[in-house]
Structure 1
C-alpha cells in the first residue's frame, strides 16, 4: 500500500510538473502589441473585406486567435447611390415622403432646404442601418477590438456617419481614403488637402480612435504621412489595394484585374513601413501582400505595430491563424526573443546599420554596390 501511495504521489507530481511546464511554454512569449490605443493579444488583424461582414465569420476570427478585426467597409458611393435610389423610390411609404416634400416646396420655397435635408437624412439612416447592426452584433459576439471601416473619396457627410458608427459601439474607425490623381484640373496640394479635410471633419464628431488607410500616390509621401500623423489620427495603414483595370484582348473589353494580392507585393509596403517607423507620430499597420508568418515578421522588424491580412483567408481560411502565430513563436525561440517589442523596428530605416538599403531605387546601385 505504501509503495502504491508513493507511486501515486510521484505520478501526481509528474502531472503537476508537466502542467507547470506547459503553462510556462504558453506564457513564455508575449505577442501582445499596442495599436490605436488598444492592447492587442497579438499584431495579427483581419483586414476589411467581405469575409468580415458576417457574425459567424467574426466569431471564427476571434476563436482562431486574431488580435483585432476590421469590418467590411461601408462605401461612400454605395450610400450616395442607395440614398438617391431611396429618395426616388416608387415604394408607397417612400412615395408619401416625396409627396410631402413636393407639397412643402410648392407652398413655401423657404422650407425647401430643411425638408430636403430631413428626407435625405432619413434615406442615409436607412442605408446605414444594416452596417450599424453589424457593429452592435459584433460587439456582443466577440471579445477582440472591432474596427469599423469607412471607404471615402470626398468630405461628403462622414462626420454624420462616423458619429453613428461610434454610437453603435465600434472600438475604432478606419477611414479608407483613396484618391486617384487623374484629374488634370487639380494639383497635388488640392488632392492631398482632401485627406486633411476628411480627418478634420471626422475628428470634430467622434472621440474613439481612428486611423487612415492610404495609398502611395503622393508627391511627397514621407512628408504627407508625417503631417497626417500630426493631425491626431491614431494610425496609418499602408497601403490600401484599389481596384485595378485590365483589358481582355479577345473580347476587347475593359475588365478587372486580380482582386487579391500576391505574396511579392509586400516589399513595397515594407520599404515605407521601414522609412516611416519611429519618425511619424502614430501607429503603423502594414497591409497588402501579407501571406505568411515570414512576411509578418519582416513587417514587424521594419517597424509595423500591426499587420492586416485579407487575401490569404480567401485563398485558404481562418484555420491558418493558429499556425501563423505558432510560426512566429518558433522564430522568436530561434532568435531568443521573448516579446514582439524585442524585435519591433529593429531593422527600420531609423535603426538599421545601412539605412540607404531602403532608399535604393535603381538596380545599378544594387549590382555595382555603389551605396
Structure 2
C-alpha cells in the first residue's frame, strides 16, 4: 500500500505543487499586507534578501543537517507565522522571506536527490513558482480572497508533506551525501588532475553561472513591454516563463545540454529583437528561460556533495541581479539590450560546454 501511495505522489510532484503554494502565499502576504508599510522600499529589500541571499548559508546548514523535509516544514512554519495579525512589517518580511528560503532549499535538495541526474526534474520543480508569484501578487493586491484560505492551504499541505515523508522513509533523516566542497568538473570526471588548477576552473565555472543567473534575474524584473500590461498577454508572458523553465530541463535531457543552450538562446536573441510584437516577445521569454534548470543542473554536478549550498549560490546570484533595478529603477525598454544580454549568456554557457560531448 505504501508503494502504491508513494508512486501516486512522487517527490517532484508534491514539491513542485508546494513550490507554487509557497510562492503564492509569500507574494499574497507581501502585496496584501506588507505593501501597506510606509517604508515599503526597505521591507521589500529585506524580504528579497531573506528569500534569496539567505539560501546560500541555509543551504550549507541543510546539507549538513541531512533532514530536508524538516527544513521544508520549518519553511512552512515561518510563512504561516508571517500571516499572524498585528506583527511589525519588518518582522513579516523576515518571516516570509526566510520561510521561502527554507522551503526552496529543503525542497530543492530533496528533488535533486530524487532526480537521478536529470535536469527535467529540476525544471518541473522550479517552474510553478512563477505562477505562484504572479497569481499570489495579483490576488494579494486585489484582496479578492480571504487570507484564511491561503493559511488553510499552507497548513493542509504541510501535513501532506509530512505524510509523504512518512510513506517514503519513516524517518526525517534524508539521503544527502557527506558534505565536501571538492569540485567535480564535467570534462574530466573520474580523472586525477592538478587540484590547484581544478579549484580555479571550478570557481570560474561557478562565477560564470552566477553571471548568467544574475543577468536572467535582472531581465526578469527590468524587462518591460507595453503589451505586458494587458491581461491576456500578461498571462501568456508568465506562461512563457513557466513552460520555458519546465521544457528547458526536458529538452536538455532529450537533445543534449549544448544543443538546448545553443538553439534556445540563439533564437531567443532573434525573437527579442522583434519583441515589440507580443507573440515574438512571449516566444523570446519562453526560450530565454529554458536555461534556468540547466544552470541549476550544472552547478549541482560541480558540487554534488553540497547541493543545498550550490542551489543557494545561484539564488544569491538572483538577489545580486535584482539589486541594480532596485537601486536605480532603470527598466529595459530597448529590445536590443535584451538581445545583447541573451547573447552574452549564450557565450558564457557555450564556454562551459566546450568539449562536452556526453554530458546532458
TM-score tier by shorter-chain length is under 0.3
TM-score with structure 2 setting the length: 0.27
Richer in strand (by share): 1
* Higher RCO, 1 vs 2 (CA within 8 Å, ≥6 residues apart): 2
